[in-house]
């Protein structure tokens, strides 16, 4: 096992970061800060344990710190999110964009859980470790996130999207 293995995980870190923050450049900044921290803390990684889960833990910590600093901007983005238009017909691409926007409505802590589970396919236990919260908290955040998304997306994606205040 050597440090090069971190590089293999970059595409997944980018995927998660993109989903988490939305913007491509902010996401890559998050990945860059995560990698810097990971390199410097690599000696703390326990050989044989899951490197990917460890990297997500680091990314979570970096994200929380950045969010604290940028908290203001993040809230702004959510508040100013344009109303999702009510549409009769839509292409799949548009529909997916709505999903991405709906995701931004979720509090960051719920977004993290739902993405680690759904996109990164981490087990609930791994999510609990990565975010350093009890498994019960993981489950309640997951439940709230999914239910909120369902309402934002109007219960089913095939119909027009409702605007949720």
Partner 1 sequence: MKPVLESDLHAYVDGVLSESARAEIEAWLSTHPEDAERLRAYSEQNAMFRSLYNPVLDELVPAALLAVRPNRWFRHAMAAAIFALGIGLGWVMRGPSITPQMVPLPLARQAATAHAVYSPEVRHPVEVTADQEDHLVKWLSKRLGTTLKAPKLLPLGFDLIGGRLLSGPQGPVAHFMYQDARGQRLTLYVTRQRGEPRDTAFRFSQEDRVAVFYWVDGNFGYALSGEISKDNLLQVADVVYKQLNP
In whole angstroms, what separates CA 115 from the centre of its chain? 5
Residues 89-108 that bind partner 1 (CB under 8 A): 92, 95-96, 99-100, 103
Counting every residue written for the chain, the total comes to 165
Contact by Cβ (8 Å): 99, 113: no
What's the rounded Cα separation, in Å, for the pair 71 and 76? 9
Residue 5 binding partner 1, by CB under 8 A: no
Sign of torsion over alpha carbons 13, 26, 33, 138:
negative
DSSP letter, residue 1: -
Residue 137 binding partner 1, by CB under 8 A: no
- Least Å from the CB of residue 77 to partner 1: 18
- Least Å from the CB of residue 72 to partner 1: 26
Interface with partner 1 (CB under 8 A), residue total 52
Residue 35 binding partner 1, by CB under 8 A: yes
Contact by Cβ (8 Å): 2, 51: no
Binding site for partner 1 (CB under 8 A): 1, 7, 10-12, 14-16, 18-19, 28, 31-32, 35-36, 39-40, 42-47, 49, 54, 57, 92, 95-96, 99-100, 103, 114-115, 117-119, 121, 123-124, 129, 139, 142-143, 146-147, 149-150, 153, 155-157
């Amino acid at each position: 096992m050597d440090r090069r293995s971190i590089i293999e995980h970059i595409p997944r870190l980018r995927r998660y970061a993109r989903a988490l923050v939305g913007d491509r450049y902010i996401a890559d900044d998050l990945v860059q800060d995560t990698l810097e921290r990971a390199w410097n803390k690599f000696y703390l990684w326990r050989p044989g344990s899951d490197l990917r889960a460890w990297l997500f833990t680091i990314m979570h910590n970096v994200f929380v710190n950045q969010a604290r600093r940028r908290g203001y901007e993040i809230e702004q983005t959510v508040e100013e999110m344009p109303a999702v238009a009510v549409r009769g017909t839509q292409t799949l691409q548009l529909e997916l964009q709505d999903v991405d926007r709906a995701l931004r409505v979720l509090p960051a802590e719920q977004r993290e859980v739902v993405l680690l589970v759904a996109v990164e396919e981490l087990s609930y236990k791994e999510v609990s470790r990565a975010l350093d919260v009890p498994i019960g908290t993981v489950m309640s955040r997951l439940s709230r996130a999914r239910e909120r998304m369902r309402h934002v997306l109007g219960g089913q994606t095939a119909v027009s999207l409702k605007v949720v205040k």
